[in-house]
Amino acid sequence: MRRVALTVNGTRHELELEPRELLVYVLRERLGLTGTTVGCDTSSCGACTVLVNGESVKSCTMLGVQADELEITTIEGLARNGELHPVQQAFHDHHALQCGFCTPGMVLAAVSLIESGEATDEPAIRAGLEGNLCRCTGYHNIVKAVAAAAGVR
Amino acid sequence: MAITESIQTVVGTSVKRREDASLLRGRGTFVDNLTLPGTVYMAIVRCPYPHARIVTMNLDVARAAEGVVAAFSGADLAEDWKGSLPCAWPVTEDIKMPPHFPLATDEARFQGDGVAVVIASSRALAKDAAELVEIDYEPLEATADVEKALEDGAPLVHSDLGTNECYVWKLETDDFQAALDAADVVVTRRYFQPRLIPNAIEPRGVLAQVGPSDEVTIWSATQVPHILRFALQIVLGYPESKIRVIAPDVGGGFGSKLDVYAEEALAIALAKRLGRPVKWTEERAENYVATIHGRDTVHHLTFGATKDGKITAVKSEATCAMGAYLQLVTPGIPLLGAWIYSGPYEIPNYSVTFTGVFTHTTPTDAYRGAGRPEATYVLERTMDALAAELGMDPLELRRKNFVKEFPHTMASGLTIDSGDYDASLDRLLELLDLDSIRSEQEALRAGGGAQQIGVGYSTYNEMCGLAPSRILGAIRYAVGGWDSATIRFQPLGSVQVVTGTSPHGQGHETTFAQIVADQLGVDLGDVEVLHGDTAVSQLGMDTYGSRSLTVGGVAIWHASQKIVDKARKIVAHQLEVSEDDLEFANGSFSVVGSPDRAMDVKAVAFQAHSAHNLPDGMEPGLEATATYDPPNFSWPAGAHAAVIEVDIETGDTRLLRYVAVDDVGTPVNPMIIDGQIHGGITQGVAAALWEEGVYDEDANLLSTTMTTYLVPSAAELPSFETARTETPSPTNPLGVKGVGETGTIASAPAVINAVVDALSHLGVTDIQMPATPERVWRAIEEARQ
């Protein structure tokens, strides 16, 4: 076991972790933050995407102990004072989710894409979301929502 | 009391989804998010061979491992099963239905067949210990090829049956062969539609507990809580009255969660044995072998036609993989397409034969469209082949054969209630701008460059909304096709709607609330839609086959009429007028001619509950249940076109445009309809271009991850161009038709037709799905020789 300190959605947690525990299971099972979902366990689908120090990371690809002293944002930490983050709001406005299982990861990937300035047009948004799979929407409305949140056409 | 603001136009508008609020905040209730005190975790040991005898099994090391609570072989649990995992669709009287228990005991019949189970205090420890189960297997010969499995000497999946043939099912009109022989032109084509792996992004999951009086509660990522409840009685012997099935938020299904799975029965059996809640969450690698697949059929399709392009006969002979066992509706999947091999065309002579075949593979079952994509693919591909044979324009051939008058009874025997196929095609061509596509195509061909383009069409119809129970019975489907709804006014005027359908992304809560708000004249916000828990929704037939709106939604409409009828009696009694003198609009009853004498429906609800002044003999409360069994299937239709770019040097393809015009009757929520169509198109495009579950010659599955089975991302797809034509269904009072599967049914043939069109000047006439760069390149090379 190893002692680590993670800051998740602004709250610092000191935890004893097994070295093999994946970050996604630390979030889900140790901290009860089940908004981050597991779709493939193999870094293919992106459902488990979170922000680590502001950058999108597939949390099934990172060990919990690697997150020591890092800042993590999960879907639960995105809305502020009950108000949806603009990307969450755009997903609602544009019907960019159906079953909602990939949505937390997709939203966080989009937040990262927009904040890094890479969401410049539709092709860039499509390329930027390549690591996040959705089986319901065909991406049409996801791309519209991200473009709207990014203020591009 | 103020009259409710008029909101009786909420049907037909794009109301934003109420489901989003929790899902967007990460507060979904997916099964893996749930645990109970004392929960233990189950891991399944799966056979790594496609076919093997289990010679010995030693569980001692696993049982002694850290955290392990118990471990069982298939033989250890054999006494727990009161019946086989059920197949609800024995399509013929002499179908072969081998037993299928949750764990194999002496012989495993596909790679991934469960053979033992380990339960431990954590997910990780269960998985660790599963690796410690020692099994001595004797590998046996296996085949995954649906045609080779029928050959003499093929390895048998169930040796006691003496054959891999599961059934032969046939539907043929009188004097069919004479009609075909009389045709001027006969075209026959062979098609293989590979396996598709559904890949709902949420893998399956189960949490089960059994109480001290054998009261069973199971949370499952299922589309079919009601069907699962009665299946669990069959497998485990608990009476349905003691079984509560909860389908919480379910992360997509596409048919793959329309089933009754071994792990659901195992979790309950082990929860009973251990006295603790048992949880299992499928890993993606398991999902590829342990959750059903779709398609895997070989078709020979024949058209007979006159010289001027009138199709006189259609004949389909299909060999369809069942996999190693029959799951819930495995044998019936081809039949879901059996009546529509004439599609939107008037074809008077009709012959369809299906041969179901066991192979050493994961069982097949419903995957989005289920039988209808298969039928539509071979039909729409062969329309293009016939057009080429006749030297006709493929659209002219389609128009010439369209059914023009409705209702139309097809040669297959079912009646299409409504449609306007020309209207959809007209609208498609308005959007498509075919002239400029053809000009560009000509210019590219003349230029001789690597990049060429093509355009392909699919004009389709389909039967969905399953459906009339009598017809389902006549085709040997074991359950009914009705659905149920309860509407319950609370005393202070809020409304609970309980539906027997079970959504998993389709937005039923929003759509159904729209129907109720309109019918009862209440605010959308006053309507709560409940589902997915058999303790709350006691009657229902669940969600599959694009049935939820056309059956469940219509049941809600009927229940709302019963509410209005009862409320009208109360108002007539209290205002001392005849019921006939009352009109109901915008949530208010008023006396005809004296609009100041009125009562709001919410006030009626309060009166119904206070019961101070009700008509003699009337029961208190304002609640109604309706069970609706539709008199016909639902018949959506449309016209789709794909424009594709092909690099003729590398074989790479790129979908440039996808234009879809669909007629799904009267829209309730256009935004949700478009979303269904986008997702459906994507799954059909993916089948055409990327996705294929590949088995090797020894029946080892090679497509075992999302990197070898190519579920598309946003980067591979364009935005779609969608439009609707509307012919309301006369079958139901809402005029609605199903929409969940239309995109998938229509899109694969449009895309392959476009690829072939792009290469037609090179002599290419067919491409095997999916049109991978290698296949495209080889097709070009073969055509050159």
Q: B715 is written with which tokens? A: 């980067």
The whole-number average pLDDT for the span A20-24 is 97
List the single residue in A with minimal CA-CA distance to B714: A126
Q: What are phi and psi of B42, to 5 degrees?
A: -105, 135
- Whether residue B4 is predicted with pLDDT greater than 80 in this model: the reply is no
Question: What per-residue confidence (pLDDT) applies to B8?
Answer: 56
Task: Cite the beta strand spans of chain A per DSSP E.
Answer: 2-8, 11-17, 49-52, 55-58, 71-73
CA-nearest residue of chain A to B711? A133
Q: How far apart are CA B773 and CA B779, in angstroms?
A: 10
Q: What burial class does residue B162 get, using C-beta atoms within 10 Å of its C-beta: 0-12 exposed, 13-18 middle, 19+ buried? A: exposed
Q: Which residues contact B34 (CB under 8 A, 6 or more apart)?
A: B207, B219, B248
Contact: B17, A139; criterion CB under 8 Å: no
pLDDT, position A153: 73
Per-residue burial over B393-420, b if 16 or more Cβ lie within 10 Å, else e, is: ebbebbbbbbbeeeebebbbebebbbbb
A8 vs chain B: nearest CA distance in angstroms?
14
Q: Which residues of B touch A100 (CB under 8 A)?
A: 19-20, 22-24, 28, 249, 251, 505
Predicted confidence at residue B785, as pLDDT, reads 87
pLDDT, tens digit (0-9, with 9 covering 90-100), for B30-79: 999 999 999 999 999 999 999 999 999 999 999 999 999 999 999 999 99
Same fold, B20-27+482-628 and B294-466+632-784: yes
Bridge partner list, B623: B488
Assign B527 a pLDDT band (cuts: 50, 70, 90). Answer: very high
- What pLDDT is recorded for position B97? 98
Cβ-based neighbours of A87, under 8 Å, separated by 6 or more: A78, A107, A110, A111, A114, A145, A146, A149
| B590-617 average pLDDT score | 97
Per the structure block, which two tokens stand in for B708? 């070898």
B714/A102 CB distance under 8 A? no
Put simply, the answer to whether B713 touches A91 (Cβ < 8 Å) is no
pLDDT > 50? residue B3? no
With a cut of 60, say whether residue B7 has pLDDT above it.
Answer: no
For B34-140+202-251+257-290, give the CATH class. alpha beta
E-assigned strand segments in B200-257: 205-210, 216-220, 243-246
Whether this model's pTM surpasses 0.95: yes
Whether the predicted pLDDT of A18 surpasses 70: yes
pLDDT of residue A41: 87
Q: Is B23 on the interface with A (CB under 8 A)?
A: yes
pLDDT at B2 over 80: no
Task: Parse chain B into domains and list their residue ranges.
Answer: 20-27+482-628, 34-140+202-251+257-290, 294-466+632-784
Q: Which CATH architecture has domain B20-27+482-628?
A: 2-Layer Sandwich (3.30)
Yes or no, beta carbons of B720 and A93 under 8 Å apart: no
Residue among B17, B19, B20, B367 with most chain A CBs within 10 A, to mutate = B20
Q: Average pLDDT of chain A?
A: 97
Distance CA(B538)–CA(A34), nearest Å, equals 29
The answer, for B656 touching chain A at a CB cutoff of 8 Å, is: no
pLDDT digits (tens, 9 = 90+) for B480-524: 999 999 999 999 999 999 999 999 999 999 999 999 999 999 999
State whether residue B396 sits within 8 Å of chain A by CB. Answer: no
DSSP symbol at B585:
E
Amino acid at B534: T
Dump pLDDT digits (tens) for B447-469.
999 999 999 999 999 999 998 99
Mean pLDDT, range B118-138, rounded to an integer? 98
User: Is it true that domain A86-150 has CATH number 1.10.150.120?
Assistant: yes
Chain region(s) in chain A for CATH 3.10.20.30: 2-77
CATH 3.10.20.30 fits A2-77, yes or no: yes
Helix (H) or strand (E) holding B463: none
Do the beta carbons of residue B414 and residue B474 sit within 8 Å? Answer: no
CATH 1.10.150.120 domain span(s) along chain A: 86-150
Is the N-terminal amide bond of B407 cis, ω within 30° of 0?
yes
pLDDT at B1: 31
pLDDT at B9: 83
Predicted local confidence at residue B467, as pLDDT: 84
CATH class of the domain whose range is B294-466+632-784: alpha beta
The band of B5, judged by pLDDT with boundaries at 50, 70 and 90, is very low
